[in-house]
A and B are shown apart, each in its own frame.
Chain A
Amino acid sequence: MKLIACVNHVPDTAAKINVAAGGTSIDKNGVNFVINPYDEFAVEECLRLKEKNGGEVVAVSVGSDAHKETLRKALAMGADKAVLLKTDDDRDSFGIASALAGYIKEQSPDLVLFGKQSVDGDDAAVGGMVAELLGLPSVTVVVGLAIDGSSVTAEREIEGGKETVKASLPCVITAQKGLNEPRYPSLKGIMGAKSKPIEERPAATVPARVQVVGMKKPAAKAAGKIVGTDATAVPELVRLLHEEAKVI
């Protein structure tokens, strides 16, 4: 099987994020970047499918040279090769999806996996866009996956339950937490990644369709209010929850 895992290089979820001067992007200084956590599920699933069915796993990312660190992590986990579709611009989802679609079309893989969303922009858009651009079926927010010949059965999370769907290969899957438990890159894997190639190509350019016009941090939370410390405070608490907070 030819398997492609699309990976993004995003700020560590524990990083403290500040808005950069200009107010339309984040300040990347001093921020630790990591592989998008949901993309780790995508890479892991590709590796498991390869271990079961044979084939090749290619990790692809759209971005600057900094993304090579994330690609090397995918290689250290066990991907066979990596491709950086290089661009130094901060792109909108369509710009990223267009660059990926061009590359993926040329490769004709059996399966393309994404994380269900990147934890930077949180658009959850690129996977679906790529499927649409390629005219492929897409199944999103997947927590279970089985391949049978030329069809795929996927279990996906829906509000309040789960749904099982079928699609034909090739198709695009976006991975949700629970699909698998990603492996740690082993020390041998990390050493082995050094000899695996990272192919660089310019990312195909399309005009941006969405432009960020402003970015700001949420307002600081106001201090909590202590209504009382014993049972006599309950009526007042209920009144506030009902009238002020409007949650009951």
Chain B
Amino acid sequence: MAQFQGVDYFMIDGLLSEEERMVRATVRSFVDDEVLPIIEKHYRDGTFPMPLVGKMAELGLFGTTLPAKYGCAEMNNVAYGLVMQELERGDSGVRSFASVQSGLVMYPIYAFGSEEQKDRWLPALAKGEKIGCFGLTEPDYGSNPGGMVTRAERKDGGYLLNGAKMWITNGTLADIAVVWAKLEGEVRGFLVEKGTKGYTAPEMKGKHSLRASVTSELVFQDCWIPESNILPNIKGLKGPLMCLSQARYGIAWGAVGSAMATYDAALNYAKSRIQFGKPIASFQLIQEKLVHMLNEITKGQLLALQLGRLKDAGTVKFTQISLAKRNNVHHALEIARMAREILGANGILDEYPVMRHANNLESVKTYEGTHEMHTLILGEDITGIAAFH
């Protein structure tokens, strides 16, 4: 297969720095050489490609924006976004792994942790020697995390944790779980280490989506958390919501990568598939679809890039992240479905990446704030009226 050349109808490359383009080139080659050749088999088998962890770490794809003293690349948010874009061109599950490790584990330890916690965990997480997961969602509390029932109880020298989390990416693989629980009625963050008595993380089976990613339950039964493992510098729901802003930001970029993959597959297919004696790309109905795909990718690229520039300037609002996540994932899924239609029956085969992306995006549209919740967040922002209270 020819090397992927990117989609850049609006000369957006000119808005990127040389470093940002170099980062993208590195991750693009990595995805072509290391992810695409193995991903369909992992997807079919329902396994996460573990050999990629060390390779991603070596390239610096975990905690990309965090300081060099923790072994991180200390790059800007646009470079981080481009990493997410290229990884998700490979697979949403691979991007999810890096998103969770970076935005949901390394970020809260960096932002809310003690110096000891940072020194102990961040270098190991950056090197991929340790894997992390993030426990917020519960079986009965998804869009409404404030209702969580997982509880921590203060005891001498630590805490007793009880409850359960669900839909946790990397849960079974994780050496360290960042778990949010109520302590005396207030949401607090705890670092739960693998092997802690009373802590189990069984894998959830039967997924038709994100099959190359591990999704788990986390179960805590009188699980003992030493005082040194509470995140000292954050209280309240704001903590996990700040983490989600990091992850949603990465998803806004990642969705563009997924859309590029399915558009590229559809465009190449349409130009080579002959029906009625000519390539199907010559039919108006196909052209309309391809143009719509390109159009939405271009808008999504500009949205993601400006979002990144705002984040780098420190002025981004969480509602802007909601808009970009909502828009880009919605259109990535629409583009994947259109690509499936253009590929006809071939679209359902794993010889092409299209159905895998379409299936993955069903999850991406729902996780990290459903499409609907982002709509209501934006609705509240522009009307001043919350529709969900």
Find out whether the CB atom of A187 lies under 8 angstroms from the CB atom of B5: no
Which B residues lie within 8 Å of A187 (CB)? 23, 26, 59-61, 64, 73, 75, 79, 83
A73 to chain B, nearest CB (A): 7
In the complex the two chains form, what is the Cα distance from A188 to B73 in whole Å? 5
Which B residues lie within 8 Å of A109 (CB)? none
Q: Closest residue of chain B to A191, judged by CB?
A: B73
Find out whether the CB atom of B74 lies under 8 angstroms from the CB atom of A190: no
In the complex the two chains form, what is the Cα distance from A76 to B24 in whole Å? 13
B44 to chain A, nearest CB (A): 27
- Is B52 in the interface zone, CB < 8 Å from A? no
Which of A52-86 touch B at CB < 8 Å?
69, 72-73, 76
- Is B30 in the interface zone, CB < 8 Å from A? yes
- Is A185 in the interface zone, CB < 8 Å from B? yes
> On chain B, which size bracket covers the interface?
20 to 34
Find out whether the CB atom of B30 lies under 8 angstroms from the CB atom of A184: yes
Which A residues lie within 8 Å of B74 (CB)? 191
- Is A194 in the interface zone, CB < 8 Å from B? yes
A156 to chain B, nearest CB (A): 26
Q: Closest residue of chain A to B27, judged by CB?
A: A184
Which A residues lie within 8 Å of B64 (CB)? 187
- Is B2 in the interface zone, CB < 8 Å from A? yes
Q: Which of B3, B18, B60, B79 contacts A186 (CB 8 A)?
A: B60
- Majority secondary structure of chain B interface residues (helix, strand, loop or mixed): helix
Q: Closest residue of chain A to B18, judged by CB?
A: A69
In the complex the two chains form, what is the Cα distance from A191 to B64 in whole Å? 11
Q: Closest residue of chain A to B71, judged by CB?
A: A188
Q: Closest residue of chain B to A76, judged by CB?
A: B22
- Is B29 in the interface zone, CB < 8 Å from A? yes
A53 to chain B, nearest CB (A): 22
Which of A18-77 touch B at CB < 8 Å?
69, 72-73, 76
Pick the most buried of A72, A187, A190: most chain B CB atoms within 10 A of its CB.
A187
- Is B19 in the interface zone, CB < 8 Å from A? yes
Find out whether the CB atom of B26 lies under 8 angstroms from the CB atom of A186: yes
- Is A14 in the interface zone, CB < 8 Å from B? yes
Which A residues lie within 8 Å of B350 (CB)? none
Which B residues lie within 8 Å of A190 (CB)? 19, 22-23, 26, 73, 75
- Is B68 in the interface zone, CB < 8 Å from A? yes
In the complex the two chains form, what is the Cα distance from A131 to B83 in whole Å? 42
Which A residues lie within 8 Å of B68 (CB)? 188, 191
Which of B259-279 touch A at CB < 8 Å?
none
- Is B58 in the interface zone, CB < 8 Å from A? yes
Find out whether the CB atom of A186 lies under 8 angstroms from the CB atom of B59: yes
Given contacts A14-B3, A14-B5, A190-B19, contact A184 B29 (CB under 8 A): yes
Which B residues lie within 8 Å of A194 (CB)? 19
Which A residues lie within 8 Å of B73 (CB)? 186-188, 190-191
Which B residues lie within 8 Å of A188 (CB)? 60, 68, 73
Find out whether the CB atom of A191 lies under 8 angstroms from the CB atom of B75: yes
Q: Closest residue of chain A to B6, judged by CB?
A: A32
Pick the most buried of A72, A73, A188: most chain B CB atoms within 10 A of its CB.
A188
Which of B41-78 touch A at CB < 8 Å?
58-61, 64, 68, 73-75
A203 to chain B, nearest CB (A): 22
Pick the most buried of A14, A190, A191: most chain B CB atoms within 10 A of its CB.
A190
Q: Closest residue of chain A to B26, judged by CB?
A: A184
Find out whether the CB atom of A185 lies under 8 angstroms from the CB atom of B26: yes
Find out whether the CB atom of B2 lies under 8 angstroms from the CB atom of A184: no
Which A residues lie within 8 Å of B61 (CB)? 187
Pick the most buried of B23, B30, B64: most chain A CB atoms within 10 A of its CB.
B23
Which A residues lie within 8 Å of B5 (CB)? 14
Taken residue by residue from 182 to 223, chain A's Cβ proximity to chain B (1 for < 8 Å, 0 otherwise) reads as 001111101100100000000000000000000000000000
Which A residues lie within 8 Å of B75 (CB)? 187, 190-191
Which B residues lie within 8 Å of A191 (CB)? 19, 68, 73-75
In the complex the two chains form, what is the Cα distance from A164 to B257 in whole Å? 46
A5 to chain B, nearest CB (A): 18
In the complex the two chains form, what is the Cα distance from A72 to B20 in whole Å? 13
Given contacts A191-B74, A191-B75, contact A185 B3 (CB under 8 A): no
Q: Closest residue of chain A to B64, judged by CB?
A: A187
A85 to chain B, nearest CB (A): 20
Find out whether the CB atom of A73 lies under 8 angstroms from the CB atom of B60: no
Q: Closest residue of chain B to A13, judged by CB?
A: B3
Pick the most buried of B30, B59, B64: most chain A CB atoms within 10 A of its CB.
B59
A190-B73, A191-B75 are known; give 7 further A-B pairs, CB within 8 A: A14-B2, A184-B26, A185-B22, A187-B23, A187-B73, A188-B73, A190-B19
Q: Which 4 A-B pairs have the closest CB atoms?
A: A187-B60, A187-B73, A184-B26, A186-B59
A-to-B contact residues, CB < 8 Å: 14, 69, 72-73, 76, 184-188, 190-191, 194
Q: 29 A-B residue contacts at CB 8 Å?
A: A14-B2, A14-B3, A14-B5, A69-B18, A72-B18, A73-B22, A76-B22, A184-B59, A185-B22, A185-B26, A186-B26, A186-B59, A186-B60, A187-B26, A187-B59, A187-B60, A187-B64, A187-B73, A187-B75, A187-B83, A188-B73, A190-B22, A190-B26, A190-B75, A191-B19, A191-B68, A191-B73, A191-B74, A191-B75
